[in-house]
Amino acid sequence: MNKSSINKTIPGILLILVISIMAKLLGEFFPSIGGVLFALLMGIIIRNSFQLNEKYNIGISLVVKKWLKVAIVLLGATLSFGSILDIGAQSILVIIIVVSGGIAITLLVGKLMKIDKMLALLIGVGTSICGATAISVVKGVVQAKEAIVAYAISTIFFFNILATFLYPVLGQWLQLSIIQMGIWAGTSIHDTSSVVAVGYLLGDEVGEVATTVKLVRTLFILPLVLAISFIMIRKNDSTQSLKGAFPVFIFGFLFMSGMYSTGIITEAISGYMGEIAKFLIVMVMAGVGLQVRWKNIRSLGLKPFVAGFIASVFVGVTSLLFVLYFL
């Protein structure tokens, strides 16, 4: 990134920084709401109340897409390998059920409601694995039109925002344990940013579990792309998608965890890294809020919205029943 490109990101980053500092302070006064939700709300209000100059968009996009990965890598320094393996083992079965079942349900609903097959597939993939990231990877395999991709992402985005507000309330109402709440959030909320945000809103331990589970779930992008590539038999397109299918930042997360597990990263340093990561998460959610445009959400057709709703309910309820009866 050259100097000119860096300068273009500054306005958006500064706006997010101001929102995040205010949200963090408000979160300390109202801990039941927390800085994460304040940041999201403030971002949404600002985006939809004022005509923001386009110059802010580059910095906002950078924070949402790149800084979340930095936060996740830093969070690796707060978890040992033993914890990661234990959490992964407890969640792998429900992840398989949620991923396969969520996609199948969406395709079935899409067929019954006569929704475009590509759109139904993208909504199912986004709901079941990791939101816009999964949609972006799969679109290269199925050669989906940009309009359909935007439609799918908007549908997923709406339910992702809804989950960010509902899950903390439902989790506390149901009195879920740390491991139950973490696995529920990690296996059923669509986007990684919201999973991490909801987890750490409810406490560091819930956040650690939710983040780990979500990263395991994200790895399912690779076998999914392989399966779709085989079905579509489009070798040229699938090769390009496979290159971007594996979330490389997970290596960073595991590397930091290894450093912490071996004692190279001390408890004190781990604590500092955790605090930096949590503030970055607040910034990411402010950025997410600044990307919410109500007019785009209102423009969604009813059928894809219903398909996204059914898929989200299936994933959420299936995961919740699993943690209630098997954990």
The pLDDT score that the predictor gives to residue 91 is 92
Give the residue ranges of the chain where pLDDT is below 50.
235, 237-239
pLDDT of residue 237: 47
Q: Are 228 and 197 spatial neighbours (Cβ–Cβ below 8 Å)? A: no
Q: Please check whether residue 51 lies inside any domain of the structure.
A: no
Encode pLDDT of 242-285 as tens digits: 555 556 778 888 899 999 999 999 999 999 999 999 899 899 88
Give the three-class secondary structure for 154. Answer: helix
pLDDT for 28 equals 87
Q: Which two tokens stand for residue 32?
A: 């039941």
Indicate whether 70 belongs to any domain. Answer: yes
Question: How much is the pLDDT for 319?
Answer: 96
pLDDT (0 to 100) of residue 189: 94
| Number of domain units in the chain | 1
Q: Residue 234's domain spans which residues?
A: 34-45+58-326
In a domain, 28, yes or no: no
For 187-291, where are the E strands, in sequence order? Answer: none
Looking at the domain assignment, is residue 225 inside a domain?
yes
Main-chain phi, psi angles of 202, to 5 degrees:
-90, 0
> According to the model, what pLDDT value does residue 161 have?
86
Residue 5 is assigned to a structural domain of this protein: no
C-beta neighbour count of 147 within 10 angstroms? 9
Cβ(211)–Cβ(249) below 8 Å: no
Does 29 fall in a domain?
A: no
Whether pTM exceeds 0.75? yes
Residue 245: per-residue pLDDT: 55
- Output b/e per residue, 237-265; b: 16+ Cβ within 10 A: ebeebbeebebebbebbbebbbbbbeeeb
Q: Indicate whether 234 belongs to any domain.
A: yes
Q: Give every CB contact of residue 1 below 8 A, 6+ residues apart in sequence.
A: none
* 111 domain-assigned: yes
DSSP string of 22-46, one letter each residue: HHHHHHHH-TTTHHHHHHHHHHHHH
